[in-house]
Amino acid sequence: MAEAKALWFRTRGHAEILEERLPRLRPGWCRLHTLFSAISPGTERLVYSGEVPEDLHREMRCPYMGGKFPFPVKYGYSLVGKITEGPEDSIGSVVHVLHPHQDQCIVRTEHTFPIPPQVPPSRATLASNLETAVNAIWDSEVTIGEHALIIGFGAVGSLVARLLSFMSGVKLEIVDANPSKIALAEKMGFKACDPGSVSGNFDLAFHASRSSDGLQLAVDRVGFEGRIIELSWYGTNKISLSLGGTFHSQRKAILSSQVATPSRRQRSRWDHARRRSLVFELLERSEFDSHITHSVPFGGLPDIYNKLKAHPTEGLSYLVKYHEKTGE
């Protein structure tokens, strides 16, 4: 039976690459030789730190997760690989699948999504977070001419900004407390500033900073009947919010947006497969390459989580490389 190497969170704050046996290949399944995976810094840092609430242990399980919360657990949800065994017509295909970080894996063939030839495999690792951003845009019901504020320029916040930049007539401003993030946003062509410098009222705000101050800024900066799209997941961390100002009198609304369920307005027509197809059509655009700001070899992956815990706001998306030569 074949051996694979996978990243596990053994205990709180301890990541390790372990060997494990792959299950036998069965009809309808395939073997993937991993090329790349992506770290989702926000969610994976909370899992690594043991901050998944006990009452959400079942809901927060990801496909092909190993172990159970809180520890030990094998967690991750964006992997790109080449099919080396399985249905004859699929062998050699480069596909995306929701799977933890692992150098080879056995998955159901129906769970894989063939990556279009116009999308480089490394860029394809953005698919999971981009799907979250697409759902957020749908939930916001943003329309032409609106002025949008994005608070928190991380992996998801930056992808929301990118999608909004494709929409004619939408004005966009980014706020982040980290000067390096402001500089990065400006380098990528966005208008950006620190929280103390933002002025005026906005039609809507996307909050992705995972902080009380960020959410409060969103509430305070949208105007009459302004919408706040909440993209942060806080885990076991508690936040405080003051709603004694203009929140009620100006009929402001806070809406939680999460990728597991397609947006209400699209739900009757869009299933997960159609939404995933849209994501890969969007990923044909080269602008998304700038959202991958870090790369790390698979063998060095455990050290990255220590760095993310110490500097959680550094960079955007983290690309994990499994082989020195990937054909790109």
In 3D space, the residue among 135, 98, 134 whose CA is nearest the CA of residue 113 turns out to be 98
CATH assignment of 3-126+283-321?
Answer: 3.90.180.10
Average pLDDT over the chain, rounded to whole? 95
| 92-113 pLDDT tens trace | 999 999 999 999 999 999 999 9
The count of other CB atoms within 10 Å of the CB of residue 114 is: 12
CA distances from 294 to 41, 245, 291, 308 (A): 11, 40, 9, 12
Domain ranges for the chain: 3-126+283-321, 129-256
CATH architecture of 129-256: 3-Layer(aba) Sandwich (3.40)
| 265-313 pLDDT tens trace | 899 999 999 999 999 999 999 999 999 999 999 999 999 998 887 776 6
In 3D space, the residue among 163, 280, 278, 148 whose CA is nearest the CA of residue 222 turns out to be 148
Decide: 207 and 230 in contact? Cβ < 8 Å. yes
Q: Which residues contact 68 (CB under 8 A, 6 or more apart)?
A: 57
Q: Is the pLDDT of residue 1 over 70?
A: no
**Exposure of 54 in the CB half-sphere (CA atoms within 13 A):** 0
| 169-195 pLDDT tens trace | 999 999 999 999 999 999 999 999 999
Distance CA 197, CA 194 (A): 6
Structure tokens at 149: 């504020």
| 5-15 pLDDT tens trace | 999 999 999 99
| 43-54 pLDDT tens trace | 999 999 999 999
Residue type, 266: Q
Residue type, 308: L
Record the pTM: 0.96
Q: Is the pLDDT of residue 213 over 90?
A: yes
